[in-house]
Each structure stands twice: as structure tokens, then as C-alpha cells.
Structure 1
Amino acid sequence: MYKPLELFIGLRYTRAKRRNHFISFISLISMLGIMLGVVALIAVLSVMNGFHKEVRERILGMTSHATISSYQNNLTDWQEAMQLSTQNPHVVGQAPFIEAQTMLTNGQRVNGAILRGILPDYEPRVSEVGDHMLAGRLDQLVAGQFDIVLGRELAQLLGVGVGDKVTVVTPQIRVTPAGAMPRLKRFTVSGIFEVGMGEYDRGLALIHMEDAARLLKLGDGVTGVRLKLDDLYLAPEVSRELADQLPGVYRVSDWTFQHRNFFSALHTEKRMMSLILFLIVAVAAFNIVSTLVMVVTDKQSDIAILRTLGISPRSVMSIFVIQGATIGFIGTLLGIGGGILLSLNLESIVQGIERLFNVNFLDPNIYYISSLPSDLHWDDVGLISISAFLITLLATLYPAWRASRTQPAEALRYE
């Protein structure tokens, strides 16, 4: 079978048992370095993707994909807004809500919290809080009974449980014979939830929407309407469409805007971690440079003979590029396989190590996410593979160029 001369010699140099075993050792180290760099990149990015997915799902399990509100902060015709939003095919759930910053007190214990008024029948359409109840149920919130559901940490800070009383203090002022006083109302704790996000477990309280409207004196108005979409990544597009369809009194926002700083920080962290880990591949690529420089020195007489037989400097350069690229390709290929296997089985591997050494890497008493999630993205694998191979390919250029500059007469003078 026909094989180009450059490819034949380059692969032969890669396979051959060299007289200088140190060169073979450095080649092996370079290959292993590239493999470890690619494995680390794929595994670490998969873990970061897993953490991002967990955090995103927990946030979006409590917040809405999109929200319709009013510029006057009191949406009175919310039924019309709900009806208009149903015309968009991506909207699969809607629920009105009332929200306000309040203080919750129990004796000497005081804690700030967001008070959210909900309709228990509508809330499961846009939120998963009903699936995370530790005590009680959302449907136990009945208008007029002034019951309240607290996050687990908020209940602990206030020292209350189901059946206890808490006082809600609103920022609104009422005039009494004793002077101006904030509006107060006693509520009975009817449930406790835990979603695994401190923002909600420590700072959110749920009551019936009619009780919230009465407490805040909103009449028939609400703060807004929360929407759930069939694809959360379409939220910006759907929000723009709804903003164009709805009258000018409505304002439409989505989760990417509400949590922009947080998710931007996550993406920045991922990019910086990728850059840092790519240094491992770069170090391995420097090993390829040193390997090929030593090979070129070792093969000076061979290069000189090839040049006297008529091979061109460009062909000599191609030989050593092929040799270095082979090392990089094999290292990258092994890294891809190892990285994929590690990422797909990372959670079980970590659990096995924890059982073997009786340790907890993520203590559930400290961290909200107590397992090590892994979410393998094939686009990350493709980008890492191409980038690692290109880095190794660039590392071959200088040694190969140096080989192509070999002068036959000088190389064979003392042979």
C-alpha cells in the first residue's frame, strides 16, 4: 500500500526503539502529560457543569422563568395578563403572586424575609416548593386563616415549628392614637420547606395571596404573574415576544435578567478554570518541544543522508511534525477516553472513596449540595480535544523547522 515518505519515516521514528532511551522516556511523559491534562479538563468542567445545573435547577425551582408585572408595582388586571400569556405556545404554567420585604418576629428573635402571597392551586404550575415540604402542605394555606409556610433555616432562626405563632411586620405605616406604627399581623406556622438554597430556606415565607393583599392593602391587585416555559433557555426570546404583544403598562422580565450577575459569575469562573487547566496541556506540549529537539539532534546524520538523497527541507519538517502530532494525538485520544469514563462515573467513584476512607468531601451539614454532580457536555469534549491537539501541533513547529535547516555537509563532517 502506498504511503507518503514523510508519513512513513515520521511514524517509524515514533515506533522505533531509539538508541537514546531517555528520548523515549520523555516522549512517554509528554504523552501522559497531555492525557492527564485532557482528563482533568473534561472531568473538572463536567463537575462545574453539574454544580451549575444543580444551582440553576434549585433557583428556578423557586423562581419563575419569566414574570409579568406592572410599572406601577400593582398589577390590577392580572387575569387579562394571564389570558394574553396563554397565547404563547411556550408558556405552560402561570400563577399570580404578591411579594414584599417584611420582618418576622417571635419574641426577641427577629429576621428579615421576603413575604410571598400565592394561590395554592396555581403555585405548583410554576414552582416546585410543594415537592420540598418537610412538614405540612401548600394546600393547607386557606384565605382568612392567616397561615404561613417558612423555609427550614428561617424557622430555626425564629425558633418556631408547625403550630407556633410568628408576627409579620410590614414596611407600611398606620396611624394610631399612640402614633405612627408599622402594620403587624400574627400568623400560624402551618408548614416548613427546604429546597437546598439558602436564599430561599433562610429568607422566604409563603402565605395565601388574599391574606397578603389584605395585609398590604393591595385590594384586587398583585405584584405580578409568574410564568413557566417548556424550555427555560427560551426565556429571553419569549419575554421579548410577550413584551411586544402585551400593552405598554406591562413589564416582562426573565430569569436570565433577574439572576444575571450570579450566572455571569458562574460562566466567568468556568472560563478561568478552563484557562488554568489548559496550562497542564501547555506544559506537556513543552515536553514535546524538548523531545523533538533531542530527536533532531540524535538524527542529524539521518537527516543529512535524506537531504543528500534529494528530500526537500519541507519534507524533513513534515517528518518531525508528524512525529510530534502522533504523540499529541495519542495523548489526546487517551485523555478523551479517560475523561469521559471519569465524568460518567465520577459520582459513584467519589462515593466509593468516601466509604473506603470513611470521609465526607461535601458534608451535608455544611453544603447545600452534598454529592459531587457531573454533567458531561459533548461540546466541551470537542472543544478540549481540538484545542489540546492544536497546542501539541504548534509545539512541533520549532523543532521541525530546526530539523529542516540542517546542512548535510556540516552534519556529516565528523561521521
Structure 2
Amino acid sequence: MNSFEWLIGLRYTRAKRRNGFISFISAASMGGIALGVIALITVLSVMNGFQREIRGRILEVASHVQAGGEGGRLARWQEADATLKQHPDVVASAPYVQGQGLLWHEGATQGAMVRGIVPKLEEQVAGLGSHMVGGSLDALKTGEFNVVLGQELARALGVGLGDKVTLAIPQGNITPAGMMPRFRSFTVVGLFRIDMYQYDAGLALVDLADAQKLYRLGEDISGIRLKITDPLAAPTVRETLQASHQSLWISDWTMENSNYFRAVQIEKRMMSLILTLIVGIAAFNLVSSLVMTVTDKQADIAILRTLGASPGSILKIFVIQGATIGIVGTLVGVLCGTLLAYNVGAVVSFFEGLLNFKILSPQVYLISSVPSEVLVGDVVFVGTVSLVLAFLATLYPSWRAARINPAEALRYE
């Protein structure tokens, strides 16, 4: 572009126009673009952080990949364990027994998922031991019938370390009076807190051998939990293992939580679309601002045309003016949005303290604080969309300015 086009276009952007309303509309357009970019970056970052936090807490309890037999029972599991660990991406494995149970203590009852584990092996595939708030996983010893409970589950039952709880399981005994559930008393030897309500309020851990006796599995187990080098590669590893172990049913953590992550992705896309409309509205304001500017500057345009400026040069002048507004609004939005996204947790905590109101209830949202993860790809995407919309908004007003007839514009001047 020629230098005079840049000079005039930038001057129109900076200059105080005779019509103050046009200046206000231009400022509103710039502010609207910045506001839309801030909102979009912040919301996407919060949703990224939410997904990261939930994924991390799920992986503290759930296995990256797990293999089981038909009917939830795996026989001769040592052979399967040895072959599964031959995969180059598998770094650790641990057997487990899993079943439903009902816990009660002094009139309080709670349903729970009962998982039998080998504590030393379990520590290699999950990080639950680092979330103990009382006792230890190592206290789960064969034959002692001890149990480790989630903190919320223990609170609902009203028990603490050293207390006794009774566990009933659906597989009952046949008596003359009919089918009766089996009962067993367990001693609470540990409490954990993941800060994920579904686990804190619904998971009970016992020793593997005790669980085998309780569920009458003999030497069989429910399955094998595997830890791999990259949790995000779990679907690929699962497909490879399934192809080489046709007799096993192999799943991964993304399958077990697919509905949740699918819902998060859909919500993220819809929120992106809705918030992009804010930038779109600001772009419409930019169209209005430039149209009024063109009307206000008809005499200037006519003089430029009589001095030899081509219609293309006039078009470029107003493209530069509109693009400048879009670029400045986008840059301000990206800067402020990124700063807000990095500090959104502190901002929310401030308002929670000010209003004495908890915005995120852990029972509903699974987490108690607002997480945030700023991804460069999201910031680039938002900035690009904003610039494209701003550029498109300049085309019609600029084309209209280029079509102004100098004689008609100067007739009444």
C-alpha cells in the first residue's frame, strides 16, 4: 500500500471527528471486540482447567487401562499380567477385585464401590496414597479385614480411624428363609480425600485377599489395572492390547468416563459459538461506525478523488481504519483475557469472600475452586477469529466509500 493511504487511514482512526457519536461508536466497537475476546479466552481457559483437574483426579483413582475377564471374573490372572506387561508402554500393573456393597454404622447406611487391592502394587498404578488424610494404605493386611474409606463416605457413616463398619454384599447365602446378604465387620484404618465427590463419598478399599474371600472368587480376580507412559495415549494402547489379547475385555479411562468428557467437549464448543457472537456484534458495530464515517467524510473522499486518488486507494484507507480498530481491540482483549485467565481463581475467590457465597459446590461441580489452563492454540484461535470478523466488517463500508462520485459529493459543499 502507498504511504498516504496508511497516513490518512490511521489519521481517521485517531482524529476527533465533528460528529462525536461516530467516535463513540468506534470506541464501543473496539471495546466490544476486546470484551468478546476477553470472555472467550477466559471461558475456554476455565473449561480447559476444569477438564484438566477432573482428568487428573480421575487418574488418581482410575487406571489408565484395565483388563478383565468375561462376567467380571479373571482366572489365571498371573499369566495375563505377565503378557500385558510385555507391552512397551505398560510401566506397572496391579490386580483388583471390585463389587458393590452396603456399609452401615450405628444406623447410618451408605452404598459404596468396594475395591480389593494390593497396597504396594496399587501405589504403582495410581496416586491414591498421596491423598490420605488419615491412616495408610499399608494398613490393609490380609486376614485383618481392614478398610480405607473416602472422607465424605466416612463422614456420612459417622466413623473415624479405629471404628468398626459392617459391610453387606449382594451375593448372599441361601437359608430356609430365603436369600440373605452376607455381612462382614471391617475396621477403618485409613481415610482419603481426592476432592472429587463421587470417589470421596462412594469408594471403599480393602485387601485383595479379603475381597476374594468376601465375594467368593477363590484365586480369581475382577481384573488388572495398568499404568502406561502417557495417559492420553490410552485409547491407542487399549486397541493394541485388545488385538493381542482377544480373550480379555480391555477398557481405558476415556471409555469409562466418555459421557463426561463428551459433554465437556460439546459444552466447550457451544460456549465458544455463543461467546463468538459477542465479537460478531462488535463487528456489526464496526460496520455502523465505518458507514457513518464514510458519510461524514464524503467531502474529503471527493477531494482525494479529484487530486488523483483511485477508488482502490479510497477502499484501502477505510480498510486500514477498520482493521486498526479491530487489531487494537483484539490485542487489548488477548492481553487482558490472558491475564484474567491466569488469575481467574484468585478473582473468583475474592468475590466468594466478598459475597460470602460459594460459587462452585464440590457436590455439584466435583471441584471446589475455579481452575484455569491457558492454551496457546485457544488464544491464537480466538485472536484469529476476532481479526477475521473485524476485517470482514470493513469490506462493505470501504467498498461504499470507493463508489462515491466526487461531483455528487461536492455539489452542496
Q: TM-score range by the shorter chain?
A: over 0.9
Aligned residue type for 1:141: L
Farther off after superposition, 249-258 or 185-194: 185-194
Deviates more, 1:267-276 or 1:174-183: 174-183
Counterpart CA distance in 2 for 1:135 and 1:215 is 25
The letter for the 1-side match of 2:312 is R
Query: In structure 2, the residue corresponding to 1:339 is in which secondary structure?
Result: helix
Q: In structure 2, what is the equivalent of residue 56 of structure 1?
A: 55
Query: Following the alignment from structure 1 to structure 2, what is the Cα–Cα distance between the partners of residues 311 and 293?
Result: 20
SS in 1 for 2:148: strand
CA distance in 1, matches of 2:234, 2:287: 48
1:277-300 CA-partner distances (Å, limit 9, x unpaired): 222212211221111011100111
Question: How do 1:225-264 and structure 2 match up within 5 A?
Answer: 225-246=224-245, 248-264=246-262
Q: Deviations over 1:112-138 (max 9, x none)?
A: 111100001111112222112222110
| Aligned equivalent of 2:370 | 372
The number of aligned residues is 412
What is the alpha-carbon distance in structure 1 between the residues aligned to residue 177 and residue 291 of structure 2?
Answer: 90
Give the TM-score of the pair, scaled to structure 2. 0.93
3-state SS, counterpart of residue 122 of structure 1: helix
Q: In structure 1, what is the Cα distance between the partners aligned to 2:357 and 2:410?
A: 64
Partner of residue 125, structure 1 = 124
Q: What's the counterpart of residue 202 of structure 2? A: 203
Which of 341-350 and 398-407 deviates more?
341-350
5 Å-filtered alignment, 1:148-227, equals 148-227=147-226
Pairwise CA distance, 1:150: 1.3
Aligned to 2:79: 80
- 1:144 alignment partner, SS class: coil
Partner of 2:302: 304
Q: Secondary structure at the match of 2:120?
A: coil
TM superposition shift of 1:265: 0.9
Q: Tell me whether 1:283 sits opposite 2:274 in the alignment.
A: no
1:337 counterpart residue number:
335
Unaligned runs of 5+ in 1: none
Q: How far off its partner does 1:13 sit?
A: 1.8
Q: 1:313 to 1:3 in 2, by over 3 A?
A: closer
Distance 1:370 1:184 in 2: 36
Q: Distance in 2 between matches of 1:51 and 1:398?
A: 41
Contact 2:352/2:359, CA 8 A, preserved across alignment: no
Report what 2:267 is aligned to.
Answer: 269
Partners of 2:148 and 2:204 within 8 A in 1:
yes
1:281 match: secondary structure: helix
Could you tell me how far apart the structure 2 residues matched to 1:95 and 1:365 are? 30
SS in 2 for 1:343: helix
Letter in 2 for 1:173: G
User: Quick one: which of 383, 386, 405 aligns to 2:384?
Assistant: 386
Q: Deviations over 1:15-52 (max 9, x none)?
A: 33323233222212211221122122112221222122
Compute the RMSD of aligned alpha carbons.
2.1
Q: What is the CA deviation profile of residues 198-224 of structure 1, one whole-angstrom value per residue up to 9, with x for unaligned ones?
A: 111111111001011111111111111
Alpha-carbon distance in structure 1 between the residues aligned to 2:348 and 2:221: 47
Separation (CA, whole Å) in 2 of partners of 1:363 and 1:285: 34
**Displacement of 1:310 after TM fit?**
4.3
Distance 2:233 2:366 in 1: 28
Provide the secondary structure at the position in 2 that maps to 1:406.
coil
The separation in 2 between residues aligned to 1:197 and 1:169, in whole angstroms, is 25
- SS class of match (2:88): coil
In structure 1, C-alpha distance between the alignment counterparts of 2:132 and 2:71, rounded to whole Å: 34
Match of 2:312, SS state, is helix
Kindly indicate whether the alpha-carbon contact (under 8 Å) linking 1:362 and 1:369 is maintained by their aligned counterparts in 2.
no
SS of structure 2 residue aligned to 1:320 = helix
CA shift, 1:108, in A, is 2.9
Instruction: Please report how far the alpha carbon of residue 410 of structure 1 lies from its aligned counterpart in structure 2 after TM superposition.
Output: 1.7
Q: Tell me the residue number matched to 2:94.
A: 95
- Aligned partner of 1:136 in structure 2 is 135
Deviations 1:361-381 (A, max 9, x none): 447787753332221111110
Give the deviation of 1:412 after TM superposition.
1.7
Q: Deviations over 1:70-105 (max 9, x none)?
A: 124211122222222222232222111110112222
Structure 2 equivalent of residue 314 of structure 1? 312
* Counterpart position of 2:412: 414
**What is the CA–CA distance in structure 1 between the aligned matches of 2:174 and 2:367, rounded to whole Å?**
47
Segments of 4+ in structure 1 off by > 4 A? 349-355, 360-368
- Cα 1:388/1:229, change in 2 over 3 Å: same
Which amino acid in 1 is paired with 2:328?
Answer: I
Query: SS of 1:396's equivalent?
Result: helix
Instruction: Summarize the Cα distance change of 1:34–1:365 in structure 2 as closer, same or farther, 3 Å threshold.
Output: closer
- Alpha-carbon deviations, 1:283-327, whole Å to 9, x = none? 211221111011100111222233344443333222212210110
- Structure 1 residues 225-234 or 288-297, which shifts more? 225-234
Gaps of 5+ in 2: none
Provide Cα deviations, 1:122-160, integer angstroms capped at 9, x if missing partner: 111122221122221100001111111111222222222
**After superposition, where does 1:28-47 map in structure 2 within 5 Å?**
28-47=27-46
Shift in Å, 1:353: 5.5
Measured after TM superposition, the shift of residue 348 of structure 1 is 3.7
Alpha-carbon spacing, 1:300–1:232, altered in 2? closer, same or farther (3 Å)? same
